[in-house]
C-alpha cells in the first residue's frame, strides 16, 4: 500500500511519515521548503519528497494524508478530490493505525509540549518500557521525532491546532489518551481561534474523552487550566506546581539542580543539563505522568539526570570568533521571555544578544505586539527581523524605555548588525519556529573561524 502525505515537511506530518514507513507502508510526500531536522530524517528513512504541490507524483496513491496547512485551491488537494482518491487527516490516520489499543500519554499546552513529551518518552525508555512516540521536535537521546515499537505505551505531543480543512476539531481530540498532561494555556493560533475561550473549549473537549481510569496531570499554578477543569472533569486530577501535588525547590539559579516533593514529602534531587525554571516545571509534569505509567519516581529522576534535551530548544548551534550561537524554537512572548531568562541565569554576566523572527501565524497577525517588546527586555541587545509582508509596525512594538532592540528588513542587514555588535564571550540566541533562511550558519560564517 502506498500513501502520499501532503505537507510532509511539518514536524507532525513528517513524524507520521516515519511511523507509516516503520509499519511497512510505501510512503511518499510533498511540501514546500522542507528544512532540517525534518528533511534530514525523511532523507535518512528513504522517503521521497516532491517539492511543491503542482500535482501528485507518479501513479495515484492508495491513500492521501492531508496536513492542516493545506486547503481548497491547493492543486494537489483539488487533484485528490477530483480523482476520488481516498484521503484522511494526519491525526485520524494516527489514531486508527497507531494509537488504537495502546496506552496513550498525550501532552497538551501552549508551551513546553515538545520538551515534556520528550521527557516522558525518555523516562519510559530508561525504565525499559520501549515506548513509541510522535514528538514535534527531535529529542537528542533518540535522534528522530517519531518511533514505532511493539510496546503498549505511546507518547504523543497533543497539539490544539485544527486537524484539517475538512475537520476543524483540535488534533488532540483524536488521540483518546489514558493520561493527558495540561501544561499551560495562553492565547495562540490566532489564525483559527478568535480568543482564549475558544481554545479553552477545545481543552474541555479533550478532558471529556479521558477515561475515569486514566489521569489528568495539570498545572496547578495556571489560572486558565483551572478554568478548563472547573468546566467539568470525569478523571482523577494530579497537580504539579501545587502543594498537594508535585513541587520543586531550585538548588541552582539556572534550574540545573532542584529538589522534588510530592504531596509535601521530599522525593529526591535532580541534577541535569537543562536550564530554566520553566524546564523544572516541565520535569514535574513528566514525573506525574510517568508515575501513573508505572515508573517509580526514583527511576524517573535518574532518567531526568541523563536527558540530553531537544534539538532547537536552547541548542548550541556553534561557536565562531569567541561568540556562542544558539538555536531555539521560541515564538510566543512567554516562551521568548522564559528562554532568555534561562540562558541569562546560566551565562551571566556574559552578554545575551537575542535575535527573533516573528514567523508564526499569530505573530504575523500582530496579536502579541504589545507583549513582544517586554519579552525581549532581559536581553542585552535584541535584533528583530521584520519581513516585508508583516503588516504591523514592528519598530513601534519593540520600542520602549531602556529597550535595546533594533529592527531589520533583510537578512543581510540583520547579520551585519549582529556582527558589528558581537564580541568574544557573547551569547547569540536565535529564536524562530522556521528555518530563518539559514541565518544560524550564515551568522557563524560572518563571525569568523568556528571552534
Domain ranges of the chain: 2-88, 101-306, 315-447
Compute the distance between CA of residue 386 and CA of residue 135 in angstroms, rounded to an integer: 29
Banded pLDDT at 258 (limits 50, 70, 90): very high
- 187 neighbors 361 (Cβ within 8 angstroms): no
Please tell me the predicted confidence (pLDDT) of residue 36.
Answer: 77
- Choice between 448 and 266, residue whose per-residue pLDDT is larger: 266
pLDDT digits (tens, 9 = 90+) for 50-76: 999 998 988 999 999 999 999 999 999
DSSP state, residue 99: I
| Of 221-235, 352-366, 417-431, minimum mean pLDDT range | 352-366
Banded pLDDT at 451 (limits 50, 70, 90): low
Please tell me the predicted confidence (pLDDT) of residue 191.
Answer: 82
Taking the model in full, what pTM does it have?
0.91
- Residues whose CB is less than 8 angstroms from the CB of residue 111 and which lie 6 or more positions away in sequence, other chains included: 183, 184, 186, 278, 332, 334, 335, 338
Residue 389 class from Cβ within 10 Å (0-12 exposed, 13-18 middle, 19+ buried)? Answer: exposed
Please tell me the predicted confidence (pLDDT) of residue 192.
Answer: 86
Please tell me the predicted confidence (pLDDT) of residue 402.
Answer: 66
| Distances 35 to 74, 114, 433 between C-alpha atoms, Å | 21, 18, 11
Please tell me the predicted confidence (pLDDT) of residue 58.
Answer: 84
Compute the distance between CA of residue 146 and CA of residue 139 in angstroms, rounded to an integer: 10
Q: What percent of the chain has pLDDT over 70?
A: 99
Helix, strand or coil, per DSSP, at residue 244: coil
In this predicted structure, the answer to whether residue 363 has a pLDDT above a threshold of 80 is no
| Of 199-208, 360-369, 386-395, minimum mean pLDDT range | 360-369
How open is the CA angle 141-311-371, to the nearest 5 degrees? 140
- 233 neighbors 207 (Cβ within 8 angstroms): yes
Please tell me the predicted confidence (pLDDT) of residue 433.
Answer: 82
Looking up cell 519556529, which residue turns up? 433
The third-level CATH classification (topology) of the domain covering 101-306 is 3.40.1190
Q: What percent of the chain has pLDDT over 90?
A: 78
What DSSP string runs through 25-76? Answer: -EEEEEESS--TTHHHHHHHTT-EEEESSSS--SSPPSEEEE-TT--TT-HH
- Residues whose CB is less than 8 angstroms from the CB of residue 146 and which lie 6 or more positions away in sequence, other chains included: 14, 15, 16, 18, 19, 133, 134, 135
Compute the distance between CA of residue 322 and CA of residue 447 in angstroms, rounded to an integer: 9
pLDDT digits (tens, 9 = 90+) for 81-106: 999 999 999 999 999 999 999 999 99
pLDDT digits (tens, 9 = 90+) for 293-316: 999 999 999 999 999 999 888 899
The third-level CATH classification (topology) of the domain covering 2-88 is Rossmann fold (3.40.50)
| Of 37-41, 124-128, 315-319, 336-340, minimum mean pLDDT range | 37-41
What letters, b where the CB count within 10 A reaches 16 and e where it falls short, cover 210-231?
Answer: beeebbbbbbbebebbbebbee
Please tell me the predicted confidence (pLDDT) of residue 370.
Answer: 85
Output helix, strand, coil percentages for the chain, rounded to the nearest 5: 35, 25, 40
- Choice between 371 and 255, residue whose per-residue pLDDT is larger: 255
Banded pLDDT at 181 (limits 50, 70, 90): very high
Compute the distance between CA of residue 18 and CA of residue 20 in angstroms, rounded to an integer: 5
CATH number of 315-447: 3.90.190.20
- Residues whose CB is less than 8 angstroms from the CB of residue 259 and which lie 6 or more positions away in sequence, other chains included: 248, 249, 251, 266, 268, 269, 270
Please tell me the predicted confidence (pLDDT) of residue 364.
Answer: 72
Amino acid at each position: 500500500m502506498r500513501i502520499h502525505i501532503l505537507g510532509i515537511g511539518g514536524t507532525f506530518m513528517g513524524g507520521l511519515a516515519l511511523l507509516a514507513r516503520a509499519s511497512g507502508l510505501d510512503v511518499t510526500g510533498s511540501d514546500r521548503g522542507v528544512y532540517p531536522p525534518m528533511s534530514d530524517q525523511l532523507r535518512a528513512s528513504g522517503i521521497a519528497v516532491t517539492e511543491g504541490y503542482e500535482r501528485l507524483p507518479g501513479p495515484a496513491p492508495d491513500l492521501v494524508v492531508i496536513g492542516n496547512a493545506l486547503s481548497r485551491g491547493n492543486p494537489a488537494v483539488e487533484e485528490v478530490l477530483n480523482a476520488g482518491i481516498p484521503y484522511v487527516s494526519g491525526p485520524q490516520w494516527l489514531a486508527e493505525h497507531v494509537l488504537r489499543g495502546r496506552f496513550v500519554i498525550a501532552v497538551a499546552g501552549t508551551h513546553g509540549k515538545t520538551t515534556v513529551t520528550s521527557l516522558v518518552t525518555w523516562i519510559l525508555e530508561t525504565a525499559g518500557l520501549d515506548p513509541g512516540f510522535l514528538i514535534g521536535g527531535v529529542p537528542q537521546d533518540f535522534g528522530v521525532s517519531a518511533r514505532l515499537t511493539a510496546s503498549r505505551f505511546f507518547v504523543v505531543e497533543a497539539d490544539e491546532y485544527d486537524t484539517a480543512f475538512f475537520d476543524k476539531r483540535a488534533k488532540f481530540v483524536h488521540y483518546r489518551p489514558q493520561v493527558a498532561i495540561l501544561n499551560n494555556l495562553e492565547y495562540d493560533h490566532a489564525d483559527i481561534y478568535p480568543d482564549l475561550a475558544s481554545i479553552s473549549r477545545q481543552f474541555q473537549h479533550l478532558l471529556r474523552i479521558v477515561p475515569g481510569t486514566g489521569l489528568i496531570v495539570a498545572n496547578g499554578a495556571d489560572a486558565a487550566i483551572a478554568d478548563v477543569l472547573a468546566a467539568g472533569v470525569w478523571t482523577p486530577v494530579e497537580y504539579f506546581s501545587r502543594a498537594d501535588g508535585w513541587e520543586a525547590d531550585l538548588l541552582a539559579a539556572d534550574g540545573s539542580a532542584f529538589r522534588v516533593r510530592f504531596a509535601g514529602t521530599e522525593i529526591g534531587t535532580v541534577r541535569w543539563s537543562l536550564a530554566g525554571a520553566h524546564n523544572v516545571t516541565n520535569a514535574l509534569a513528566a514525573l506525574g505522568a510517568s508515575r501513573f505509567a508505572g515508573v517509580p519516581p526514583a527511576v524517573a529522576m535518574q532518567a531526568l539526570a541523563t536527558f540530553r534535551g531537544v534539538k532547537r530548544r536552547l541548542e548550541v548551534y556553534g561557536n565562531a570568533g569567541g561568540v556562542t550561537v544558539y538555536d531555539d524554537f521560541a515564538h510566543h512572548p512567554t516562551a521568548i521571555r522564559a528562554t532568555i531568562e534561562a540562558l541569562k541565569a546560566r551565562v551571566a554576566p556574559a552578554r545575551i544578544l537575542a535575535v527573533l523572527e516573528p514567523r508564526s501565524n499569530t505573530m504575523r497577525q500582530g496579536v502579541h505586539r504589545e507583549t513582544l517588546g517586554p519579552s525581549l527586555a532581559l536581553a542585552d541587545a535584541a535584533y528583530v527581523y521584520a519581513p516585508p509582508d508583516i503588516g504591523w509596525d514592528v519598530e513601534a512594538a519593540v520600542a520602549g524605555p531602556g529597550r535595546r532592540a533594533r529592527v531589520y528588513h533583510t537578512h543581510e542587514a540583520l547579520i551585519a548588525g549582529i556582527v558589528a555588535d558581537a564580541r568574544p564571550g557573547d551569547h547569540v540566541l536565535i529564536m524562530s519556529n522556521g528555518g530563518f533562511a539559514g541565518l544560524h550558519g550564515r551568522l557563524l560564517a560572518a563571525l569568523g573561524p568556528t571552534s
